[in-house]
A = this chain, B = another copy of it.
């Protein structure tokens, strides 16, 4: 059978739609991305998108099913003990944000949090349940949650300025230098 421009439905169609959804939600945000544009990106009929994932809301929820689990992140961060968590955090952060495969769903989550309350809830849960609950007890003290949250806020801000807004003085700097300068400030939330 001759191949056409439109790929047939198949085993990996769901995965292709999901990848397209992450790319579209990440690039355009929740409101501007459409089932039609996601279908076009995936090379399938819009009806197939509905068939696989239901409504746009459902598709968004599926698309922010991130490749990184918060509890896995916590394990990686704490692997070297509290003394090296600052550098571990910064290194992991840039490794996922510099890789399009993991950046797209994170970008979708961040944009979704701005766009709608459902997206904000996803981000609260992502950090709150797995990450904060796992990491804060390792620090201890009455302000452990606040410290971890402020460390997270710093990373969120770097993501916003470097990857969303394209702030020149953060874009032009190599990742190694960013890690070098950022790590001690993240570290200070864990051990100072």
B127 adjacent to A167 (CB under 8 Å): yes
Nearest B residue to A173 via CB reads B146
Bound complex: CA of A184 vs CA of B95, how far in Å? 27
Q: Is the CB of B165 within 8 A of A157?
A: no
Q: Number of copies of this chain in the oligomer? A: 2
Q: Are B169 and A149 in contact (CB under 8 A)?
A: yes
Assess the B29–A165 pair: CB atoms within 8 A.
no
Residues of B within 8 Å of A32, CB to CB, are: 31
Residues of B within 8 A of A192 (CB): 184
Nearest CB of chain B from residue A8's CB, rounded to whole Å = 35
The CA-CA distance from A131 to B29 in the complex, in Å, is 29
Of the listed stretches A52-60, A70-78, A96-104, A107-115, chain B binds A107-115
Q: Mark A158-192, 1 if CB is under 8 A from B, else 0.
A: 10111011111110010001100110110011001
Interface members, chain A 110-165 (any B CB < 8 Å) = 111, 113-115, 120, 123-124, 127-128, 132, 143, 145-150, 152-158, 160-162, 164-165
- Bound together, the chains give a CA A188 to CA B148 distance in angstroms of 18
Residues of B within 8 A of A132 (CB): 169
Chain B nearest Cβ from A149, distance in angstroms = 4
Contact of A185 among B29, B150, B160 (CB under 8 A): B150
- In the complex, which residues of chain B have a beta carbon less than 8 angstroms from the beta carbon of A31? 29, 31-32
- List the interface of chain A (C-beta within 8 A of B): 29, 31-32, 111, 113-115, 120, 123-124, 127-128, 132, 143, 145-150, 152-158, 160-162, 164-170, 173, 177-178, 181-182, 184-185, 188-189, 192
Please provide the 4 A-B residue pairs with the shortest distance between their CB atoms, ordered closest to farther.
Answer: A157-B157, A153-B157, A156-B157, A149-B169
